[in-house]
Structure 1
Amino acid sequence: MFERFTKGARDVVKGAVTYAEHERAPRIDEGHLLLAVLDARGTRGSFALGALGIDAEGKRASVGEALLAARRRAGLTQADTEALAGLGIDVDEIVARVEEAHGVGALSGGRRLGGRRPFAKEAKGVLESSLRMALAHHDRAIGDEHLLLALASRPGIASETLAGHGVTVPAVERVLYGGGRAAAG
């Protein structure tokens, strides 16, 4: 599948690996992929993000902060947090207590010191969905725009974060393809 990736898409994957290494994360997750998509310049994905208002550094920083907040909650989405609140569980209070005892980011996963990092199940799903997105739009190669569409379409912290900033599958498709055709995935 990687042979079908454009240079931009390959750069996103490499960037995600770099983010995971920098954090000493045990796995490359969808948040790392999203951060790397945000770093892209001069690609179809960066064009779509710019057209949807995510080209200013403040907006990019806001997306990064939302991902960091989700990581601090052990990857729980805001919807998960609200559902638990309905059961009387205050996730923010739990995070605060754990971080008070074990340090900031204690719930964000184990730390990996070296070696090759595998892709988390969700990140693998994003890569697979990007192929489906490319096929749905009759594109021969998988670009960073397909990774962006896949991130926006799959339930999780990346899609929740993107949607919170106005980046949805229909919006990206409208910018890139003009019509907003329904994509498989």
Structure 2
Amino acid sequence: MFERFTSAARAVVKGAVAHAERSGSGTVTEEHLLLSLLDREGTPAAAALARLGVSARREQVAAGLADAARRAGLTRADAEALAGLGIDVTEIVARVEAVHGAGALRADRRGRPRRSGHRPFTTEAKAVLERSLRVALGRGDRHIGDEHLLLALAARPGPVADVLTEHGADYAALDRALGASDGPPGAVA
């Protein structure tokens, strides 16, 4: 599968590993993939994110991802469902962090890099890479580009898709913005 990755898609994966290293994470997560996509310029995914204004709100996106990570990856919908049962996720997170320290529930802190220094990808991040192949095939593309990684992130329910949706970049909007990148500059479908 990786032989089909374009240089831009490979750069996203390498950038995700770098984000994991800088954050001290033992694993590479979906969040790292999105942050790496937001670092790119001059690629189809970068153009789509810019068209939707997500690139300009990078700090808010990163804060939303960090907030989701503090909740151990629970989506806002999960937190609202638990609130309906009388469970206040914010209060639980605060109590756990008071006892065990800030970020104690972060899912990306669970793994540790191997002695080789290699950081494994989480099951969810691997699923995004696999889904990017299905997205590419569904679009009739013979390669896997950073646009396919972005669509795969938006298609997979979870905190990353939630954060993208909060910023107006759900799967349909991204698909339209990517279609617009094939047309004249400034055109939006």
Provide TM-score, normalisation by structure 1: 0.91
**69, 73, 76: which one aligns with 1:75:** 73
- 1:96 aligned residue (89, 94, 118): 94
Are residues 149 and 89 of structure 1, via their aligned partners in 2, closer, same or farther at CA, if it must alter by over 3 Å?
same
Is 1:16–2:32 an aligned residue pair? no
Summarize the alignment of residues 106-117 of structure 1 with structure 2, pairs less than 5 Å apart.
106-108=104-106, 109-110=109-110, 112=112, 115-117=117-119
TM-score by length of 2: 0.89
Q: For each residue in 1:103-149, what CA deviation from the matched residue of structure 2 results, as whole angstroms up to 9, or x when unmatched?
A: 11111032636631111111111001111111111112111110000
- For structure 1, the residue ranges without an aligned partner over 5 or more in a row are 179-185
CA distance in 1 between partners of 2:34 and 2:104 (Å)? 22
Report 1:123-138 matches (<5 A): 123-138=125-140
CA distance in 1, matches of 2:55, 2:87: 36
Alpha-carbon distance between aligned partners in 1 of 2:113 and 2:6, rounded to the nearest angstrom: 30
Checking the alignment, whether the CA contact within 8 Å between 1:24 and 1:112 is kept in structure 2 is: no
Q: 1:105 to 1:166 in 2, by over 3 A?
A: same
Q: Calculate the aligned-residue CA RMSD, in Å.
A: 1.3
Q: Displacement of 1:170 after TM fit?
A: 1.1
The amino acid of 1:153's aligned partner reads A
Comparing 112-121 with 29-38, greater Cα deviation is found at 112-121
1:131-150 equivalences in 2 (<5 Å): 131-150=133-152
Q: Residue 51 of structure 2 contacts residue 177 of structure 2 at CA under 8 Å; is this kept in 1?
A: yes
Matches within 5 A, 1:26-45: 26-45=26-45
Amino acid at match of 2:124: E
Secondary structure of 2:55 counterpart? coil
TM-fit CA distance, 1:177? 2.2
Q: Report how many residues are paired.
A: 176
The question of whether the paired residues in 2 share the 8 Å contact of 1:133 and 1:150 is answered with yes
Post-superposition, which runs of at least 4 consecutive aligned residues in structure 1 deviate over 6 A? none
CA–CA distance in structure 2, aligned partners of residues 75 and 92 of structure 1: 13
Other-structure match for 1:182: none
Alpha-carbon shift at residue 24 of structure 1 (Å): 2.1
> Cα deviation per residue 1:39-70 (whole Å; 9 max; x = unaligned)?
111100000001111231xx111100000000
